[in-house]
Structure 1
Amino acid sequence: MLNQIDLSRIDLNLLVLFETVIEERHVGRSAQRLNLSPSAISHGLGRLRILLGDPLFLKTPKGVVPTDRAEELAAPIADILARVRSVVATAEPFDPARSQRRFTIGAPDGVSSVFLPPLLDLLAKSAPGIAISVRQLLPRQGEPSPDLAWRDALAALEARDMDIAIIPQAEFPVRFASLLLYEEDFVIAARQGHPLLTDQTLATYCAMQHLVVSHMGDTHGFVDNVLASHGCSRQVALTVPNFMFALAVLAETDFISALPRRFVEMHAARFGVVSVNPPLPLGRFAINAAAPKAAMGDEGVAWLVRLLQASMDNTIDKTAAHSGNRPAPIKADT
């Protein structure tokens, strides 16, 4: 967007002015918001037009409207300003009780549905000004290795596109710090009164119509691999793109689905969905929070990681705590 020569003479305040005008769509209101005169806003827009080579805003009887070029620039400029504000915020002592920072956490939807409610409870009590953006993470399609399936998430962390990733990955490159938040396994979920609840044999399970959560609509998953190892198979009648939608569908149909146990425990009851243990062990996996070690030098990020641990400590079941699966300290050693 800006070449090297432009960067040597650009005034960052011009980007703030652009952001304000595109939000307000009015020179007068923008002037009031920035404590400037309307003529100063107009002068700044003139400098921006020269710098960016576009009229940017066109006058109308009710204010101004952005050009197509201005609409294209809105998101990149907002991103630039967000990063600058984040840098400035980290230069000051971090006080969660007074901070107005926004943090971005990436996670699959079945994981964010578990950690977010207790995290929001703690934020409301101790850091009401903190804002959270949740970014949905998806594994690489067709990647057979669990520890490689989430490498796009790790790349996004290093690019600082998000602050923390919470993913079902056990091992991380040494340049990342990681924290075990909880361990997860699977249950079979179905509506109340479903025939499977009174006949939980493997044969009955395989004969049922199955729902699979798959963002891309793939019908084959790890459950099919487990069944195949025992000489069995199942019929996948429906795929849906997220776990909450899965619960809503299960409540109104005779489909069954293998879903994360902790997710089901937290959310299934309000849909009238219940669960039973699977007829075959479907394995356990670790849910870890990860951030680059360099990012952990940011007091705000380090605080948020600790808060995530505290939020899960408040909800973790006693069985996991007594079995030695309690979240461990941050692993930041090389």
Structure 2
Amino acid sequence: MELSLARLDLNLLTLFDVLMQERNVTRAAERLHLSQSTVSHALGRLRQALDDPLFVMSRREMMPTERAKALAGPVRQALAMLEQGLRQAKGFDPASARRVFRMALPGSVEHGLVPAMVELLHRLAPHCRLEVCELAASDYERELEKGELDLVVGFAGADHLSPRLWREDWFSNPLVCLSPMDSGLPERLGPRELVSKPHIHTSSWGHSQAMVDLWLARFGVERELGVRLPSFMAVPQLMATRRYLVVVPEMIGRDFSRDYPLQLHQLEPAIPIVYLMAGHPLSAHDEAIRWFKGELHALALAHYGLTPLGG
């Protein structure tokens, strides 16, 4: 039997969308601020309307049927477009808006730019706030489509993001080497000087470190890794031992060489790292995200003198 949209209670589609995400009636009821019995009754109505069980209980969660899987994408997109349209109809005034901007980004950007992002929001959008999670091994299409994230900051040329996302270059920041003060190394380092001591390998993502290894391989040399770290947090203390060198983005290197007895060396030839911003096509016209992106492009120019590439 063909179902007319006019005969379907559209509130049931919101329920379906939440159930697809939670796979649990109790959690869905909590998110919708409804009782479990109300959610169960509504699911029964939707099953009857669509003539399909939609979800089947397993040992751990409710598993969607093939019909539910086919519906999930179109329903999520339709609801996201409606939510976006409602926000746009209201307009976005940063001075009065109340919103959370959610981003995934690499550790270098967290260390180098998140404090400036927070200050930007405090100054221009005082009722908005920032939530950040670390860049992970995901293509981020699902997280952005579901609205769990607004923007992802990744690396140009790394091919780690879904091709269905929009993306634009944000800024370029070359890699530099840090050595202990009075290390005797020249101001500019070539491949041979760069492998003169063991290295600290930073970040769990490791894109910049992979670029270093590719760069060294071009010249037929290989570095020794002394320590592998998931972030930059322990770098200053380890560098105080005077046993290591570390290659980091220049924005990180400037901070560390200012705050600790470390010397910054440019690499020759340079190793540029290009950061990009990406998002879901559903958010491409979201006024709040467009405003935030514009401010981030301006921030890249103002902070550390980074080389802006988009905007």
TM-score bucket (shorter structure): 0.5 to 0.7
Instruction: Tell me which residue corresponds to 1:24.
Output: none
- Alignment of 1:134 with 2:117, yes or no, is no
Q: Tell whether the 8 Å contact from 2:186 to 2:265 is kept in structure 1 after alignment.
A: yes
Task: Note closer, same or farther for the CA distance 1:108–1:128 as it changes in structure 2 (3 Å cut).
Answer: same
Matches within 5 A, 1:135-174: 135-138=133-136, 140=137, 152-169=139-156
Instruction: Tell me which residue corresponds to 1:93.
Output: 91
TM-score, scaled to structure 2: 0.66
1:277 to 255, 266, 269: 266
Instruction: Tell me which residue corresponds to 2:212.
Output: 223
- Alignment of 1:191 with 2:183, yes or no, is no
| Count of aligned residue pairs for this structure pair | 251
- Alignment of 1:249 with 2:238, yes or no, is yes
- Alignment of 1:301 with 2:289, yes or no, is yes
Q: Tell whether the 8 Å contact from 2:29 to 2:39 is kept in structure 1 after alignment.
A: no
Instruction: Tell me which residue corresponds to 1:328.
Output: 310
Instruction: Tell me which residue corresponds to 2:169.
Output: 180
Q: Tell whether the 8 Å contact from 1:211 to 1:240 is kept in structure 2 after alignment.
A: yes
Alpha-carbon offset, residue 202 of structure 1: 4.5
Alpha-carbon offset, residue 14 of structure 1: 6.0
Instruction: Tell me which residue corresponds to 1:213.
Output: 202
Q: Tell whether the 8 Å contact from 1:190 to 1:251 is kept in structure 2 after alignment.
A: no
Q: Distance in 2 between matches of 1:249 and 1:155?
A: 38
Q: Note the alpha carbon deviations across 1:41-61, whole angstroms, 9 max, x for none.
A: xxx8xx447868xxxxxxxxx
Instruction: Tell me which residue corresponds to 2:43.
Output: none
SS class of match (1:95): coil
- Alignment of 1:317 with 2:305, yes or no, is yes
Q: Which moved more, 1:120-129 or 1:281-290?
A: 281-290
Q: Distance in 2 between matches of 1:152 and 1:232?
A: 33
The residue type paired with residue 191 of structure 1 is P
The residue type paired with residue 222 of structure 1 is M
1:116 to 107, 110, 114: 114
Q: Distance in 2 between matches of 1:199 and 1:166?
A: 29
1:287 to 275, 293, 306: 275
SS class of match (1:135): strand
Alpha-carbon offset, residue 130 of structure 1: 0.6
Instruction: Tell me which residue corresponds to 2:47.
Output: none
Q: Tell whether the 8 Å contact from 2:156 to 2:169 is kept in structure 1 after alignment.
A: no
SS class of match (1:207): coil
Q: Which moved more, 1:174-183 or 1:96-105?
A: 174-183
Alpha-carbon offset, residue 239 of structure 1: 0.5
Unaligned runs of 5+ in 2: 1-11, 17-24, 41-59, 62-78
Q: Distance in 2 between matches of 1:118 and 1:287?
A: 17
Identity of aligned residues (%): 18
RMSD: 4.1
Alpha-carbon offset, residue 196 of structure 1: 3.2
Task: Note closer, same or farther for the CA distance 1:243–1:295 as it changes in structure 2 (3 Å cut).
Answer: same
SS class of match (2:243): coil
1:15 to 14, 19, 30: 30
Q: Distance in 1 between matches of 2:14 and 2:291?
A: 37
Instruction: Tell me which residue corresponds to 1:22.
Output: none
TM-score, scaled to structure 1: 0.62
Q: Note the alpha carbon deviations across 1:122-158, whole angstroms, 9 max, x for none.
A: 21211111111111113x5xxxxxxxxxx62345333
Q: Tell whether the 8 Å contact from 2:175 to 2:273 is kept in structure 1 after alignment.
A: no
Alpha-carbon offset, residue 208 of structure 1: 0.7
Alpha-carbon offset, residue 183 of structure 1: 0.5
